[in-house]
Amino acid sequence: MRKATILLILALVVVGATWTVFRWYTAPQRAQVGGLEAGQPAPVVTLTDAATGLPVRIPTELAGRPFLLLFFSQGCHACRQEVEGLKAHLTEFGERGFTAFVVTPGTRADLEYLAPTGFPVLLDPSGEAFSAYGVTFIPHTVFVDRAGLVHRTMTGWSVKESPGAVRETVTDLTGGGGGQ
């Protein structure tokens, strides 16, 4: 009897932990992720522009322009899908001054994959930005407004799971419109 009770309790703990992990990984958006909340100043980090090799200070050098940072790794299937979805989804907003950047540790595989996407790629080989932005799971997207404040964060496959939320966020940041 005691052995059966212990096994039942153990099974319940395993099921509960599995459910918690599943919900965490599949949740497309959170009000707070990694300590960043809407309205907080975006952390200032210096990354390297993959195209030019020059340093880029984010968000300082983008003052007055809304943008997003997509934290990415080529080995992550959901990250690759996120890049493709964002590319199709956000192209229309480029003319309104909205920019999407992909932040990657800069492995050769990442750069080869990202080259034809047209996204500006920012290299973070030291992990400074991943750490400062509280990235613990990828893909992880951070939307920053014109004032350099975090507007929203999304973790997971946000374009697939919440395409309306992505469009709504970009529309908010660009002042409305954007077409359908």
CA distance 56 to 48: 6
Counting every residue written for the chain, the total comes to 180
Instruction: Report the pLDDT averaged over residues 37-59.
Output: 93
pLDDT 10s digits, 74-105: 777 777 778 777 776 666 777 778 888 999 98
Classify residue 151 as left (phi > 0), alpha (psi -120 to 50) or beta.
alpha
The closest of 138, 116, 120, 125 to 34, measured between CA atoms, is 138
Q: Which of 116-120, 151-155, 174-178 has the lowest mean pLDDT?
A: 174-178
Q: Which of 28-37, 52-61, 94-103 has the lowest mean pLDDT?
A: 28-37
**CA-CA distances (angstroms) from residue 31 to 37, 38, 52, 153?**
6, 7, 35, 7
Q: What is the CATH number of domain 30-174?
A: 3.40.30.10
